[in-house]
Each structure stands twice: as C-alpha cells, then as structure tokens.
Amino acid sequence: MASKKLRRTGVSADLCERLKRHQVETCQDVLSITPVELMRLAGLSYPAALDLMRLVSKACVPTVSTVTGPSGCGKTQLCIMLSVLATLPRSMGGLDSGVIYIDTESAFSAERLVEMAQARFPEFFSVKERLLEMASRVHLFRELTCQDVLNRLERLEEDIIACRAGLLILDSVASVVRKEFDTSLPGNLTYRSNLLGQEAAVLKYLSQEFCIPVVLTNQITTHVGEKVHCPQWNQADVSTEEDSGFVTAALGNTWSHSVNTRLIVQYGDAERRQIVIAKSPVAPFAVLSYTVQREGIRLEGPFEFIRGLRSLPRGGLCGFPTPQNFNGKQDIRGKKLWECFDSLAEVYGGVYVVDC
C-alpha cells in the first residue's frame, strides 16, 4: 500500500503533477520527506502540507500488524499503552476514539491501564472524570477458544460503530490456536490453517472498511532438528540458530504472510529489551532498545538502522516525518515514546507508529 499512487488517494491532479516533477509519485515518497520539504516541493503552506500527509497516511496505512516475541518481553504492556494513547484527545497526539481489546490469555489488567495512564500523563489524568472516561473507552472482550475468537471477530462491526473504535487489538492470536491444535495429528494442520485464514480475512476487512489499525500479538516457537537457516529472523539481523533447532514466529509461514507489518520484541540484557522492525512496507529495518516502566514502554538509547538490507528513507522511523531526520542514529536516551514522536503524532495520529 506504500507504493499506492498519489492520484488514487484523493490528491488533486494539479498537486500530483507538481510533485511528479520532483519524482514524488507514491504514498511512500510523500511520507519519506519532512513537512518542510513537502512545503517546498508542492508550494504549500505548513498546515496544508500536514493535511496532505494526513490524507496520504490514511490511504496507505498498513492493515494488520503483529508484535512477535517470547513471554515477558512486554507485548501486552505495549498493547495496553496503545489503548491509553488511542483514547487521548487529538491535541495530545491521540485518536480521541474507543479501543476494542480482545484478550485470549486473561492478561489484560485494568489496574495496569489506570497506572500507566496516570504515570504517563499525570497532569491530564489528575482529574478523576478523565480517568474514568479513558477506562470506559477501552472495551474488553475475553475469548478463550478459537471459535469464540472467530465468532467475536465476525460480529465486531456493530461494536466498532457503537464505541467509535479507532484501534483493534487481539492479544494473542497464537494462544488459543496452539492450545487447541496439535499439528502432529492428521488433519489438524489443515483445519488450523483454514481457521487462521478466516481470522486474517475478517481482520483485514475490518481494518480496510473502518480505516482503523489492527495490532496482534504472536508467540515464538522452537523447531527442533538440524541447524536450519531462519530467514524471518535473519533478515532483521536477529537470527537464532543452534545445532538442535531454531526459533521462529508461531503459526507458520501462511500466517506470517497475512500481516503487513511485523515487529519482533526480544531480550537485550538484564534490563533492556529490543524492538526490531522486521517487515514493513515503508520502514527500514531498525532496532530500538526499550525498558518497561510504570508509564509503559520507554525507549532507551539510539535508533540503530540495519544497513545493507534496505536504504534509509529521508524521513525518520517508519518512513514518516519525525522531529529530526535520522542520520543512522539519533540519541533518544531517557525520553518517553510519545515524546520522541511528537511530530509524528501530529501528522499520523499518535498510535499508528506501531502500525508502520
């Protein structure tokens, strides 16, 4: 979707022609430059350049994103943090919308949601009414079987409309599937693949029909056997190869091709963990160090772009405008996630950083 032509996004023919003279013809081209550059190339005012970026970002937003990693790396913490951000007013970089949160592991914590909101935005949520409104906008559905999850997804349209949902989270897509299906038994693998295919189709439909991001969490699994090359992890320079087997994302290749964007979370050292942008239509391969604090995910250290895999866009992370252009690395030590993406939130709605 990043290669989508500008003329198919609702941009006027005159503006498309002006940008084409500067080799800016696709959504990715627009979102790979800063608002100031766009002003110069298109002859627009700064507010008009931001409006154009909003229009283009909506047209090429990836439909389904997945966060894959081992237990305890903070996948659920990330989902809870996104829930808080989505409910914030647009003036604060939020979506001013509801959140539909499907929990298959009974891991969601309302107490943690409130704690994170108060720690991240203490002044805003010092008013009890705002805290209650934020909590009321997160609609939790606890589905503990594969069929329950599929049934919930298939009747989710009314819920999305009723709660004005701007974000859909499924945590986790792998949990119930791996509990119910032993793929060593005849026929189970085929049935599981069909079920996952149905879920993926419904999720893509909901995302495209209602123009909302979908965030999924996935688990990892170990394939025991000979030393095998694992391209899915190696492409992000985080391959795990042993003589006895290798680690890869759960649910197999079919599912991995059903998502537009894949983030891998992994342990770095005793305190730090890493987010790896392993697959994205608009982002370079990059590694971000983070810790899990009271306020949620907190970035610790510079962005490291992995060279030799994909050229770095002129914009920042995920190809979207950031407070400063990155030159391979940018030191963001000690800053909170939302502080690092102030400019990005203004252009792209705050929450969509995970959906790149």
138 pairs with which residues across the strands?
99
Average per-residue pLDDT for the chain: 76
CA distances 348 to 23, 31, 47, Å, are 23, 10, 14
pLDDT classification of 64: cutoffs 50, 70, 90: confident
CA angle 298, 301, 307 (to 5 degrees): 120
For residues 167 and 83, the answer to whether their CB atoms sit within 8 Å is yes
What number is the average pLDDT over the span 209-232? 71
- pLDDT in the model for residue 323: 31
For the cut 50, the answer to whether the pLDDT of residue 171 exceeds it is yes
In this predicted model, which residue has the larger pLDDT, 288 or 351? 288
- pLDDT in the model for residue 277: 86
For the cut 60, the answer to whether the pLDDT of residue 228 exceeds it is no
Q: How far apart are CA 151 and CA 135, in angstroms?
A: 25
pLDDT classification of 231: cutoffs 50, 70, 90: very low
- pLDDT in the model for residue 350: 30
Q: Which of 175-179, 214-218, 350-354 has the lowest mean pLDDT?
A: 350-354
In this predicted model, which residue has the larger pLDDT, 270 or 50? 50
What confidence tens digit (pLDDT) does each residue in 96-122 have?
A: 999 999 999 999 999 999 999 999 999
In this predicted model, which residue has the larger pLDDT, 22 or 307? 22
For the cut 60, the answer to whether the pLDDT of residue 269 exceeds it is yes
What number is the average pLDDT over the span 257-263? 83
What confidence tens digit (pLDDT) does each residue in 291-304 have?
A: 999 999 998 876 55
Closest CA to 65 of 261, 348, 207: 261
For the cut 90, the answer to whether the pLDDT of residue 262 exceeds it is no
- pLDDT in the model for residue 223: 63
In this predicted model, which residue has the larger pLDDT, 202 or 315? 202
Strands 165-171 and 214-218: parallel
Tokens (6 digits) for 338: 């939302």
In this predicted model, which residue has the larger pLDDT, 275 or 188? 275
For residues 331 and 302, the answer to whether their CB atoms sit within 8 Å is yes
In this predicted model, which residue has the larger pLDDT, 250 or 78? 78
- pLDDT in the model for residue 60: 67
Q: Which of 65-74, 281-290, 291-300 has the lowest mean pLDDT?
A: 281-290
For the cut 60, the answer to whether the pLDDT of residue 186 exceeds it is yes
Counting residues of the chain whose pLDDT is more than 70, the rounded percentage is 73
Tokens (6 digits) for 100: 């539909």
Q: How far apart are CA 311 and CA 338, in angstroms?
A: 26
- pLDDT in the model for residue 271: 82
- pLDDT in the model for residue 324: 33
Closest CA to 25 of 8, 40, 44, 37: 8
pTM of the predicted protein model: 0.70
For the cut 60, the answer to whether the pLDDT of residue 27 exceeds it is yes
- pLDDT in the model for residue 78: 94
- pLDDT in the model for residue 245: 57
The H or E element containing residue 134 is: helix 128-137
Tokens (6 digits) for 130: 């705002």
